[in-house]
Amino acid sequence: MNSPLADQLADHVGRTIRSPDVSVTPDMLGHFERGTLLDIAYVDDSDAGYESDMVPGFLTLSLIDALGVMTPELRVDGTYALNYGLDRVRFVEKVHIGDEVHAHFQTLSVHPRGGGFLVRRTATVERTSDDAVVAVMDLLLLLLPSSSGEQA
């Protein structure tokens, strides 16, 4: 790739890095339901058969960005990251209010793209209490040079 930034990114390929734990709180669920209009769409879901403390899979998915940002080992000096997309998202276990979750990020590839680099990572979200995998996805990030010296 022939640049210090490219070399630094190449060092990430194949590495798996664990995020800190995050607790899923009732407030988090309430904010998510209001922000995504689930509170309007499902006014009376008492007959739906869902466990009252079960968290929607998309809330778990929405935590990925924050878990990545909270993981300093994923940062690359002199860049900022844009979400470029997701592939193969799967929700494989339930998450409940009060559960703590964390993610393992593995960088699969780095390729030059549009003045920056397209980074593909697998993210595996686990419930901390039993390390059960609750969600798996491939993340695509576009890392671009930062003029302000911020980090991604």
Residue 76 · residue 143 · CB < 8 Å: yes
**Counted domains in the chain:** 1
Which residue matches tokens 């592939």? 87
Which residue matches tokens 């003045």? 115
The residue range of the domain holding 101 is: 4-24+54-145
* CATH number where 92 lies: 3.10.129.10
* Whole-structure pTM value: 0.85
The CA-atom distances, in angstroms, between 100 and each of 19, 24, 54, 64, 95 are 12, 6, 13, 13, 9
- Here the tokens at position 17 are 């890095």
- Here the tokens at position 56 are 């929607």
| pLDDT tens string 72-119 | 888 888 888 999 999 999 999 999 999 999 999 999 999 999 889 999
Task: For the chain, give the longest Cα–Cα distance.
Answer: 59
| pLDDT tens string 32-69 | 888 887 666 666 666 566 787 899 899 999 999 999 99
